[in-house]
Homo-oligomer: A and B are copies of this chain.
Amino acid sequence: MSDSARSARAWLRRARDLRDRRTREAEGSCIVEGIRQVASAVETGHEVEALLVDPARLHSDVAWAAVNDAVERGATLVDLTSRDMERISSRDNPIGLVAIVRWAPASLSALAIEPDSIYLVADDIHDPGNLGTLVRATDAAGGKALIVLGGTDPAHPSAMRASLGTSFHLPIHAATSHDELFAWADGRCRTVATSAHASGEVWDTDLRVPVAIIVGNEARGLAPETVSRCDITVRIPMLGTATSLNVSVAAGVLLYEAVRQSRS
């Protein structure tokens, strides 16, 4: 086996190991797949350990520019066979580019509250695709940061994929408990719970900055204790037969309503 083949085997093993959350958390690195996602990691200056490339599949100039940038800054370039790429890809039709990037959520204590800010808190979100979509929506609405509290890992490959690279731009912080979250917000940032039982509808409720909007688990929503600790509860009216919205859709409605109110 040649040195480069041996190196490819080692990086493949590392990519597979990083599918496991404990490995990601212990090592502070994650797997990032997709052109826009990898380009974002490179352009925001995150350290790229390795770029795993299937040259037969990767034809995008944007992708190759990002690869070259990262290699110039010290990333290892690893050529994979199409078969090996299929093994590590989470896509049915791999684009041919996977990066191993040093990235992990920061601690909540490192997040300062600024007066004109919207924060989104993802409380016990189960599906990594939803968590990534929440990152993307928070970034799009000009949110200052996303705070993850329990649930799935923002460094999960599917979360990284769904964020479309915004995970490298938007600050992402992890709260270790509800106590830490409410102590962080206390007196400096109003906390808003989404609840089907809230008396106020989204448009009649003051969501002006600084505000932290908390959305809950896909099946169970927010725990009643969490709702009761929030400064404000708010309800998005359900006008058909659905009893709830997808969590990312609900977050989008609330984030943009906060933007609307904060402007007017």
A112 at the interface (CB under 8 A from B): no
Mask, A72-86, CB within 8 Å of B = 1, is 000000000000000
Is there contact, CB below 8 Å, between A143 and B256?
no
- Which residues from chain B contact A238 at a C-beta distance below 8 Å? 140
- Is A170 part of the binding interface, using a Cβ–Cβ cutoff of 8 Å? yes
- The answer to the question of A240 belonging to the interface, with a C-beta cut-off of 8 Å to chain B, is yes
A1 at the interface (CB under 8 A from B): no
Of B141, B242, B253, B257, the residue contacting A139 (CB under 8 A) is B242
Question: Does chain B have a CB within 8 A of A211?
Answer: no
Contact A170 B240 (CB under 8 A): yes
The 3 residue pairs across chains A and B that have the minimum distance between CB atoms: A142-B239, A249-B252, A139-B240
Q: Pick the residue among B142, B202, B240, B251 that contacts A140 (CB under 8 A).
A: B240
Partner of A256, one of B140, B166, B253: B253
In the assembled complex, A68 has its CB within 8 A of some CB on chain B: no
- Residues of chain B within 8 A of A178, CB atoms compared: none
Q: Measured between C-beta atoms, what is the minimum distance from A56 to chain B in Å?
A: 22
For chain A, residues 154 to 174, give those with C-beta under 8 angstroms from any C-beta of chain B: 162, 164-166, 169-170
- Give the distance in Å from the alpha carbon of A252 to the alpha carbon of B136 in the complex: 15
Measured in the bound complex, the distance between the Cα atoms of B146 and A119 in whole Å is 32
Q: Measured between alpha carbons, how far is A41 from B260 in the docked complex, in Å?
A: 38
Assess whether B256 is in contact with A141, with CB atoms less than 8 Å apart. no
Say how many copies of this protein the assembly contains.
Answer: 2
Q: Does A236 interact with chain B (Cβ within 8 Å)?
A: yes
Q: In A239-261, which residues have CB < 8 Å from any B CB?
A: 239-242, 244-246, 248-253, 256-257, 259-260
Given A248-B248, A249-B137, is A164 in contact with B242 using a C-beta cutoff of 8 Å?
yes
- Judge whether A244 and B202 touch: CB under 8 Å: no
Chain B residues within an 8 Å CB radius of A29: none
Complexed CA–CA distance, A165 and B242 (Å): 8
Of B237, B248, B251, the residue contacting A259 (CB under 8 A) is B237
Q: Is the CB of B241 within 8 A of A245?
A: no
A177 to chain B, nearest CB (A): 28
Contact partner of A239 among B133, B140, B237, B246, CB < 8 A?
B140
The residue of chain B having its C-beta at the shortest distance from the C-beta of A240 within the complex is B139
A203 near B: Cβ within 8 Å? Answer: yes
Q: Do A241 and B137 have beta carbons less than 8 Å apart? A: no
Which residues of chain B have C-beta atoms less than 8 A from A170's C-beta?
A: 240-241
A250 to B143, CA, bound (A): 16
Which chain B residue has the least Cβ–Cβ distance from A239?
Answer: B142
What sequence of 0s and 1s flags, for each residue 106-127 of chain A, a beta carbon within 8 Å of any chain B beta carbon?
0000000000000000000000
